[in-house]
């Protein structure tokens, strides 16, 4: 069995599909915050499973949850005692393939957001 296959199996065994997608998104952009629907669209995860994972990960201190008005935002918790180790594990096990998929989806999301007059990150575009 190749090393690449072994790493892929390791990632699949350690993390479920939704958790893998959430951690890959948040830990590949540790300085950015994402809102619930943005995470759902980017990862392709179902809303129920996504809400469960976000709740569990935030309660464990792996991610941070913050609110601005009525909107909840999530980001990787850089103060988590295992932040660096978890970040390295995510990159080694599934980060690259998930990151490529995320960029593909992000392009489509940003294009759709531009049509709606937003940046895709909840900010309104300035028009001339």
pLDDT digit string, tens, across residues 15-45:
788 999 999 999 999 999 999 999 999 999 9
CATH of the domain at 46: 1.10.10.10
- Answer for the pair 104, 98: CB distance below 8 angstroms, yes or no: no
The model's pTM is 0.68
Asked whether the beta carbons of 76 and 83 are under 8 A apart, the reply is: yes
Distance CA 44, CA 25 (A): 11
126 vs 10, higher pLDDT: 10
Indicate the SS3 state at residue 8.
Answer: helix
- Determine, yes or no, domain membership for 95: yes
Does residue 102 lie in a domain region? yes
What total number of domains does the chain contain?
Answer: 1
């Amino acid at each position: 069995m190749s090393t690449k296959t072994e790493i892929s199996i390791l990632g699949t065994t350690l993390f479920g599909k939704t958790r893998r997608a959430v951690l890959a998104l948040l830990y590949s952009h540790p300085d950015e915050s994402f809102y619930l629907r943005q995470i759902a669209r980017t990862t392709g995860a179902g809303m129920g499973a996504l809400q469960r994972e976000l709740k569990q990960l935030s309660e464990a201190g792996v991610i941070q949850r913050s609110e601005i008005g009525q909107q909840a935002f999530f980001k990787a918790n850089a103060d988590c005692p295992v932040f660096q180790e978890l970040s390295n594990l995510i990159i080694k096990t599934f980060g690259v393939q998930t990151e490529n998929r995320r960029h593909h989806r992000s392009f489509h999301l940003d294009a759709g957001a531009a049509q709606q007059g937003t940046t895709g990150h909840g900010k309104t575009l300035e028009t001339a």
